[in-house]
Amino acid sequence: MSERAPAIKFTAAAIICLLVGTCQRVPPTLEQIRTLGELRVVTRNSPTAYYLGANGPEGPEYDLIQQFAADMGVALYIYTVPGFAEIRDQIASGRAHLAAAGLTISKAWGESITFGPAYQQVRQHLIYSQGKRKPRSLEEINGSHIEVAAGSAQAETLRRVRSRFPMLTWVERGRGDSLELLGDVVAGKIDYTIVDSTEFSLGRDFHKAARVGFDLMAGESLAWAMNSRDDSLRLRVARYFADITRSGQLTAVLNRYYGKSNRFDYVGPRSFLRHVQSRLPRYRQWFEEAAAGVGEDWRLIAAIGYQESHWEPDAVSPTGVRGLMMLTKGTAQQIGVKNRRDPRQSIFGGARYYGSVRAQMPARIPDPDRTWLALAAYNVGYGHLEDARIITQLHGRNPDLWQDVRAFLPLLAQEYWYKQTKHGYARGWEPVRYVDNIRGYLDILEWVAADSGPQAAADEGLPRIEAPVKSGG
């Protein structure tokens, strides 16, 4: 697997000719893939396709194509190119077998490109801000300040409907993407914007006041693209999508990325204190021992655990992370955790992993900024944090101060900025909320769980945390 195209790449036909020693017959694409033992896929660095997460590659297209390669019993070689024109060139030339990049089915791709079955319908939402009157038609927004991305499908839709609404005007923004436009609507800088339903699903967790007024267009279909030279791969792709649609796997993948998530919602003090009383006593001793092993305050490790799972040892996320500290399978193997559902193993493993991330931070950064930056890296990945620190420095701010970096992390979700970074797209608002939440839980733990023990809290009339009961494991 790779993130970028190699400098020199033979076409699939040329490689097969070398393998079989003759060019008298170009084998069907599916036969080429099986002979090579490798599926070569071109994609985009995009929230709707493929990107690097804290623990490796993620994205809806990546999840789907990874399973497809596994079902075929071949290795996956995936790489990114900057835009749609490059994707078309990679498929038409045979350098890539398949494009999985959030592509809309269209005749504009030309006769050399064919598409697999549609796997997702995309609608165009008109967006307004909560607190304002909900618009229900284009007539109602005539004369309003509307902005869309330049060259986008949304701009083309507005051009098509303008003949029916002569007073309709808009601005096509050359720089900026859907997340930035959503933010400007919420901030009151513009009245409305139009974004795809997938983009809105990804951005609404950050811009919670953004609301859908109505849909301008429905029914745009997304699909994988292939060379039209033969039907062998297209038929295999069609069978794969039929299987995952029937099994529910396709719905699960789409919900994983586009379904509403409450993971980063802050649990208020009242609910948290109830869990401090009912759940924390079972695990406090392990938090203390694990934290001591990495030289940290046990309450910090406990706060991380609460943010991850609410101290539920059987917690499982849609992406496959699980356990009290919500470790991925790869991270668990890396830090020696054999059973992620075992709360003791999970706590000790999570503490070791946090300690390893913190150790990567530049030694010059003092606490508490070192801690907050390490937590952000724990959530989003150290590479993405470094990208944000570089952006912070480019804006003349201090990359060693959490408050400064915090302001620029969300830019990692904006196309203009992530295309300039080494590690590309990231949901940059998530580490901000992650650190904010943990700081809130930590403040409460420092209030009710002083190191002097539970009796001190009781003497001050605070909630009492009973001493933990020793358990095996």
Residue 97 CB partners (closer than 8 Å, separation 6+): 12, 29, 32, 33, 39, 40, 41, 226, 227, 233
Per DSSP, helices labelled H in 98-227 are: 153-161, 178-186, 197-203
Q: Please give the Cα distance from 252 to 50 (Å, whole number).
A: 17
Q: Please give the Cα distance from 169 to 191 (Å, whole number).
A: 12
- From the list 119, 82, 88, 96, the residue with the least C-alpha distance to 42 is 96
Q: Please give the Cα distance from 126 to 210 (Å, whole number).
A: 10
Q: Please give the Cα distance from 77 to 125 (Å, whole number).
A: 35
β strands within 177-283, DSSP E = 192-196, 210-227
Task: Please report, as a single letter, which amino acid is at residue 260.
Answer: K
The tokens for 18 are 């070398």
The tokens for 210 are 């953004």
CB 31 within 8 A of CB 360: no
308 is catalytic: yes
Assign 241 to helix, strand or coil.
helix
Helix (H) / strand (E) containing 362:
none
10 Å CB burial of residue 100 (0-12, 13-18, 19+) is buried
Q: Of 58, 308, 415, 430, which is the active-site residue?
A: 308
CB 422 within 8 A of CB 80: no
DSSP structural state of residue 26 = P
194 Rama class: left (phi>0) / alpha (psi -120 to 50) / beta: beta
Write down how long the chain is.
Answer: 473
Task: Please report, as a single letter, which amino acid is at residue 458.
Answer: A
CB 181 within 8 A of CB 114: no
- From the list 51, 45, 53, the residue with the least C-alpha distance to 328 is 53
Catalytic sites, residue numbers:
308
